[in-house]
Amino acid sequence: MSNAWRDRLLALREELEGIADTGDEASAVVELDQTKVGRLSRMDAMQAQAMAQASGQRRERMLRGIDAALKRLDEGDFGYCQECGEDINPKRLEFDPTALLCIDCASKAEENATGEIRPKENRP
Ligand SMILES: [Zn+2]
């Protein structure tokens, strides 16, 4: 069973690294264009670059999650909730093999996270 997860995680990582290459090309193009385009398209370019950066950060987080999951496979901790130690539902792992928490702990963590983000959004 653990070998199947390893294959799955390695395939996922390869896929993400493939996307990373094209992402670098896209941001390089934006940089070149900035000197000769007008204000509006420059804003478009900056927006595209910001989006590329955001997806790059998301990708990096996922890559770190995949590496952590592979490490947990080695240590025999894979598939157990990091918070409460219960088995993580296999369906949940099927959806996201890098999941660290069972569904109960994950939804609690999510509640905490949104509680932290809201005050920032309300700032003037
Ligand atoms: Zn849990």
pLDDT at 38 over 70: no
Question: Average pLDDT for residues 90-116, to the nearest whole number?
Answer: 89
Say what the pLDDT of residue 31 is. Answer: 55
User: Ligand 1 (ion): which residues have CB within 5 A?
Assistant: 81, 83-84, 102, 105
Q: Which of 96-103's residues contact partners 24+ apart within 8 Å by CB, and which partners?
A: 97/5, 97/8, 97/9, 97/12, 97/66, 97/69, 98/9, 98/62, 98/65, 98/66, 98/68, 98/69, 100/65, 100/68
Q: How many helices (H) and strands (E) does the chain have?
A: 4, 0
What is the CA(1)–ligand 1 centre distance, in A?
21
Say what the pLDDT of residue 3 is. Answer: 86
State pLDDT tens for residues 45-74: 889 999 999 988 999 999 999 999 999 999
Provide, rounded to the nearest whole percent, the portion of the chain with pLDDT above 70: 73
Question: Average pLDDT for residues 17-22, to the nearest whole number?
Answer: 71
What is the CA(57)–ligand 1 centre distance, in A?
26
List the domain boundaries for the chain.
Answer: 1-78, 79-124
What is the CA(104)–ligand 1 centre distance, in A?
6
In eight-state DSSP terms, residue 88 is P
